[in-house]
């Protein structure tokens, strides 16, 4: 299932934001980590990298390049 919020633009148009695919775990491998953020190679789509920020990682987990991870994806309309 999918959950989302509805945003209303200045022209009163409506669009979905904060789109979350619920209960759909994705798998990937950490590609790079730079300071407070990094990128995950998305196992299901070739050449697709997923951005993450350290604030989204469970407490006490230190991700490094090459680590295999499971995650839930949240899509950003600005970046896809």
Q: What is the pLDDT of residue 70?
A: 87
Neighbours of 37 (CB within 10 A): 13
Query: Tokens representing 25?
Result: 């775990």
**Could you read off the pLDDT of 24-67 as tens digits, one per residue?**
778 889 999 999 999 999 866 567 788 898 888 888 888 999 99
Q: Which of 10-14, 35-39, 42-46, 70-74 has the lowest mean pLDDT?
A: 42-46
Q: What is the pLDDT of residue 26?
A: 82
Domains of the chain with bracketed CATH: 2-75 (2.40.50.140)
pTM reported for the whole predicted model: 0.61
d(CA 54, CA 35): 9
pLDDT, average across residues 15-32:
82
């Amino acid at each position: 299932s999918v959950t989302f919020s509805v945003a209303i633009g200045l022209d009163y148009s409506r669009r979905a934001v904060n789109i979350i695919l619920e209960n759909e775990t994705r798998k990937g491998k950490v590609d790079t980590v730079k300071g407070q953020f990094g990128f995950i190679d998305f196992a299901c789509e070739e050449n697709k990298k997923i951005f993450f920020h350290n604030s989204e990682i469970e407490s006490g987990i230190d991700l490094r390049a090459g680590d295999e991870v499971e995650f839930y994806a949240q899509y950003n309309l600005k970046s896809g």
